[in-house]
Amino acid sequence: MTEQRISDLTADELKALVTSTINERLSAMKTSLLQEISDLMESKVKSLAAINGQSNSYILPKLTEVQRQQKLKDLQEMFRRWDEEYDEEEQRETFEYLQQVLDEDRLSNRPLFPQT
């Protein structure tokens, strides 16, 4: 369409121009709305996949009974060594000493660790 002033257009030309403009706007809105719906559906599918454990994250394989027993033995051994290496009385004395020192060094008169 050649450039014309709106006041120079006939009623039919003006009607065609308005119809064309409305159709273009509706088409753009429809495309935008369809894109939004598509994005929402895609995000919903991704969130459902994550909930169902179907995401792209790594899933640990199930352990066989032998592997599970070995891991259990390893954990028991680790705790046994831990009990041997760390003296409970020494830990208690260290904790009491730290309580005392921290309470003495406070700017406030209120103790950090009130004695019960």
SS3 assignment for 49-99: HHHCCCCCCCCCCCCCHHHHHHHHHHHHHHHHHHHHHCCHHHHHHHHHHHH
Instruction: Using pLDDT thresholds of 50, 70 and 90, give the confidence band for residue 23.
Output: confident
- How confident is the model at residue 52, as a pLDDT? 56
User: pTM, whole model, 2 decimals?
Assistant: 0.34
Same domain, 44 and 78: no
In a domain, 88, yes or no: yes
In a domain, 13, yes or no: yes
Instruction: Using pLDDT thresholds of 50, 70 and 90, give the confidence band for residue 14.
Output: confident
- How confident is the model at residue 99, as a pLDDT? 83
Same domain, 44 and 69: no
Same domain, 10 and 46: yes
In a domain, 109, yes or no: no
- How confident is the model at residue 2, as a pLDDT? 64
Mean pLDDT (the chain, rounded): 79
Task: Count structural domains, the chain.
Answer: 2
In a domain, 1, yes or no: no
Same domain, 10 and 44: yes
Domain that holds residue 69: 65-104
Mean pLDDT of 22-38: 86
In a domain, 15, yes or no: yes
- How confident is the model at residue 70, as a pLDDT? 93
